[in-house]
Structure 1
Amino acid sequence: MSLFNKAYAEATGGAFVLRIEDTDRVRYVADSEQQIFDTLRWVGLPWNEGPDVGGPYAPYRQSERLDTYRPFVEKLLASGHAYYCWCSTERLAGLRAEQQASKASVTGYDRLCLGKTREERAVLSGFSETPVVRMLIPDDAPLTFTDVIRGEVNAPRPDDQVILKADGFPTYHLAVVVDDHLMGITHVVRGEEWISSTPKHILLYEFLGLTPPAFAHMPLLRNTDKSKISKRKNPAARLVWFREQGYLPEALRNFLQLLAYPPVGDSEVATFDEFVAGFDWAKVNTVGPIFDLKKLDWLNGEYIRALAPVELAVRIVEHLEFTGEWAEATDAQRELLRRATPLIQERLGVLSEALPKLAFLFTADADLVVADDARAQLGANAAEVLDASIAALEALEPFAADEIQAALRAALVDGLGLKPRFAFGPVRVGITGSRVSPPLFESMELLSRESSLTRLRALRATL
């Protein structure tokens, strides 16, 4: 939703407003606000107004605006569009259970408190000392509204929604109506799960004599099996997960565009500015898009390969510091990674794959561990191959990739008569500890002659 909010604001010269809607104190998580700030900035969707940047309608946290809502509640009570409800949570739970058991055609609050004074309600069962305030839904409540994306939309009839809770906090329904009005919001972009609540919001605007904004309800994302994505079951429902996995923010942004919007031009790879330039709500797909990570993996690879190697190296370091794999990169680590990045760029899918592919370069010679599968594939002639390789490299000058390749080819292919595809296997295992690695000769140049010879001799000593 933030992506399309931001795109429309950019396309029309408007403001993208970030408001923290934290009136549900039961579900409040202390560090969630900072996570929202960090992840939205990381993905490249900064806001024009918000809690941390200010703006003409501050404060932008609803928990700091409680005095703002009370006059609107009083106006609704005075006009008869709202009423106090003293029903206890136990009574309401029993009412829901009874309606479910009887499969009642009409569900929701039964209006026991409507028209009663506190004293009249107190003599009945299920009484709570602290009331809530409910809006009174008229029998002829309009259930159809015009959606910017979907056109005419029909919604189910709402029940008498709580708009002010017993703790003095407004519910989402009242708070967003009041704030959208006071903050001059022209377009509300949200998920389609809020379609059923829109009649309540439109009624509140009507009751308060306010003009409602335009509503645009985006489709919900679906798993590959068409089921709804769950934050509890699918880690990819958390934006920070993509950063943890090493996706590039511009690739993720491009991927999210494509989920509900056709490609910009002839290519699926498009910048945010290109997306904004031709933005049109009519192009938004209302059918629940499939969240296919394979598509994102492909896009991420495209963006990785398009980066200059030095920029990619910077991104990799930032990722390693973010995940804590490198607390703080040293100058030596940065320089070695910069030189090694071209060796893996074409084979890199996400940033998190970089360090495992290059781990042997950042491992002390004495700490290098030869993997069991790599050791198992060493042939009977491995000792002979290593002896010849060591002899060929000891006096090699300069110790550069082309010279290393020529020296080893002369010693192993020409000298021992080995086929190239088999000749360098023991050398690779000795240098990297693995069967598969980045280009061998370039890796040896990065390690240096001393380190390369130390590793080859160490493997040879075990044979």
Structure 2
Amino acid sequence: MIRGRFAPTPSGDCHIGNARTALLSWLQIRQAGGEFVLRIEDIDQSRCKPSYAEQMIDDLLWLGIDWDEGPGTGGPYAPYEQSKRTIKYQAAFDQLNNNGWLYPCFCRRKDLKALANAPHGLSSEGPAYPGFCRYLTSNERKTKAKEKDPSYRFAMPDKPVAFVDGIMGEQHYAARAGGDFVVRRADGFIGYQLAVVVDDADMHMTDILRGADLLDSTPRQILLYQALEWPVPRFTHVPLLYGPDGRRLSKRHGTAVTLHNIRQAGVKPESVVGILAFISGLIDRPEPVKAKELILEFDLSKIPQSPVVLSHKMLQNLSNS
């Protein structure tokens, strides 16, 4: 059984980029007759608010996107909120640590500032960590532990990673690309990379469709799957949306960015879905259409591989349709 998901972070209002990713993920799974899951990635409680999650759920239903498992629906792999799944993350952390995949890192922020001017590894992760603490002796670690609680990093194996992306095609990453990454911060906070792998594996995800900003996180996640001896899902990354100024779409581009504002303007959901389908190559003109009417039209090969730049007219259409 094919299984996919949409896993938003409720740190703000759902914007049309989120909505597009949710729609395409939903269409992929619905066309295949699979099971679609909504998971709320609210592990960072300092940024996430229940009100945003509630609004996001309402916005998705308004668009015509439903789910078989998730908040308000339940399912065999509940809970579907990351903030309630910390026991599972700790179990995976312990497994990795016991099998020698992790090491304590005592670097302070000031120690890593110099990396800001160094060549970056994986762009979404910032500068590559050069492994300052990877080869510390046992005595050195004990000494440093008296001064500072460590974070824990995943020791990247010395092998390249390759996979075939559903939209971007063949992807190749050199051995240790991006450097060793944090899976648990010094304050005990589990990092995104480990949490998302645990959740997707535990919920038996077979297909992950998400934004292209996470493309370079994929090799790290594949290595975590392999280290934990879990099946690796198929990955598809959708190019991002940009405003008329060529910058990544955000609040600065006006009221048409968030579904909350679009709904307040009286725009119909079919109009939003039609525009999202048009810019994704699924239909040849931005005409109103219901989400369920696109299921037969869905085809990954139609989706452009490059970021989509929205014109002023397109943003106006989202505000006034």
TM-score for the superposition, normalised by structure 2 = 0.82
Q: Is the 8 A contact 1:87 1:127 kept in 2?
A: no
Structure 2, unmatched stretches of 5+, are 1-20, 122-126
TM-superposed CA distance for 1:104, in Å, is: 5.3
TM-superposed CA distance for 1:35, in Å, is: 1.7
Q: Is the 8 A contact 1:173 1:201 kept in 2?
A: yes
Counterpart in 2 of 1:447? none
Superposition pairs for residues 87-106 of structure 1, below 5 Å?
A: 87-92=107-112, 94-97=113-116, 100=117, 103=118
Counterpart in 2 of 1:394? none
Match of 2:52 among 17, 25, 32: 32
Counterpart in 1 of 2:10? none
Give the number of the structure whose residues are more often strand, by fraction: 2
What is the CA RMSD across the aligned residues, in angstroms?
Answer: 2.6
Superposition pairs for residues 216-231 of structure 1, below 5 Å?
A: 216-231=236-251
Counterpart in 1 of 2:205? 185
3-state DSSP of counterpart to 2:195? helix
Query: What is the distance in 2 between the residues matched to 1:150 and 1:105?
Result: 21
Q: Is the 8 A contact 2:262 2:318 kept in 1?
A: no
AA aligned opposite 2:163: F
Match of 1:176 among 188, 196, 209: 196
Match of 2:163 among 145, 149, 157: 145
Number of positions where the alignment pairs a residue of Structure 1 with one of Structure 2: 294
The structure with higher relative contact order (CA 8 Å, sep 6+) is 2
TM-superposed CA distance for 1:255, in Å, is: 0.9
3-state DSSP of counterpart to 1:31? helix
TM-superposed CA distance for 1:82, in Å, is: 1.5
TM-superposed CA distance for 1:70, in Å, is: 1.4
Structure 1, unmatched stretches of 5+, are 301-348, 351-463
Query: What is the distance in 2 between the residues matched to 1:116 and 1:165?
Result: 18
Query: What is the distance in 1 between the residues matched to 2:313 and 2:32?
Result: 33
Match of 1:288 among 285, 307, 310: 307
2:106 is equivalent to residue 49 of structure 1:
no
3-state DSSP of counterpart to 2:103? strand
Q: Is the 8 A contact 1:137 1:158 kept in 2?
A: no
2:152 is equivalent to residue 133 of structure 1:
yes
Counterpart in 2 of 1:81? 101
Match of 2:185 among 165, 187, 206: 165
Q: Is the 8 A contact 1:269 1:299 kept in 2?
A: no
Counterpart in 2 of 1:380? none
Change (3 A) 1:178 1:128: farther
Counterpart in 2 of 1:408? none
Cα shift readout 1:355-413 (whole Å, capped 9, x = no counterpart): xxxxxxxxxxxxxxxxxxxxxxxxxxxxxxxxxxxxxxxxxxxxxxxxxxxxxxxxxxx
2:83 is equivalent to residue 63 of structure 1:
yes
AA aligned opposite 2:78: A
3-state DSSP of counterpart to 2:37? coil
2:264 is equivalent to residue 244 of structure 1:
yes
TM-superposed CA distance for 1:259, in Å, is: 1.2
TM-score for the superposition, normalised by structure 1 = 0.58
AA aligned opposite 1:278: E
Cα shift readout 1:26-52 (whole Å, capped 9, x = no counterpart): 422342211211211222212221122
Query: What is the distance in 1 between the residues matched to 2:46 and 2:247?
Result: 27
3-state DSSP of counterpart to 1:87? coil
Match of 1:194 among 204, 210, 214: 214
AA aligned opposite 1:129: K
Q: Is the 8 A contact 2:282 2:299 kept in 1?
A: no
Q: Is the 8 A contact 2:239 2:304 kept in 1?
A: yes
Counterpart in 2 of 1:418? none
Cα shift readout 1:310-369 (whole Å, capped 9, x = no counterpart): xxxxxxxxxxxxxxxxxxxxxxxxxxxxxxxxxxxxxxx55xxxxxxxxxxxxxxxxxxx
Query: What is the distance in 1 between the residues matched to 2:274 and 2:119?
Result: 46
TM-superposed CA distance for 1:7, in Å, is: 0.9
Instruction: Give every structure 1 segment of 4 or more consecutive aligned residues whose post-TM-superposition deviation is greater than 6 Å.
Output: none
Query: What is the distance in 2 between the residues matched to 1:213 and 1:155?
Result: 18
Query: What is the distance in 2 between the residues matched to 1:183 and 1:9?
Result: 15
2:232 is equivalent to residue 212 of structure 1:
yes
AA aligned opposite 2:160: A
2:36 is equivalent to residue 22 of structure 1:
no
Which one is further off, 274-283 or 1-10?
A: 274-283
Query: What is the distance in 1 between the residues matched to 2:147 and 2:51?
Result: 33
3-state DSSP of counterpart to 2:152? strand
TM-superposed CA distance for 1:222, in Å, is: 1.4
Change (3 A) 1:127 1:280: farther
Query: What is the distance in 2 between the residues matched to 1:27 and 1:273?
Result: 33
Cα shift readout 1:412-460 (whole Å, capped 9, x = no counterpart): xxxxxxxxxxxxxxxxxxxxxxxxxxxxxxxxxxxxxxxxxxxxxxxxx
TM-superposed CA distance for 1:6, in Å, is: 1.1
Query: What is the distance in 1 between the residues matched to 2:257 and 2:137?
Result: 46
Query: What is the distance in 2 between the residues matched to 1:114 and 1:160?
Result: 9
Counterpart in 2 of 1:271? 290
3-state DSSP of counterpart to 2:35? coil
Query: What is the distance in 1 between the residues matched to 2:290 and 2:55?
Result: 24
TM-superposed CA distance for 1:208, in Å, is: 1.1
Query: What is the distance in 2 between the residues matched to 1:233 and 1:119?
Result: 54
Change (3 A) 1:19 1:267: closer
Query: What is the distance in 1 between the residues matched to 2:106 and 2:85?
Result: 25
Query: What is the distance in 1 between the residues matched to 2:273 and 2:226?
Result: 37
TM-superposed CA distance for 1:296, in Å, is: 6.3
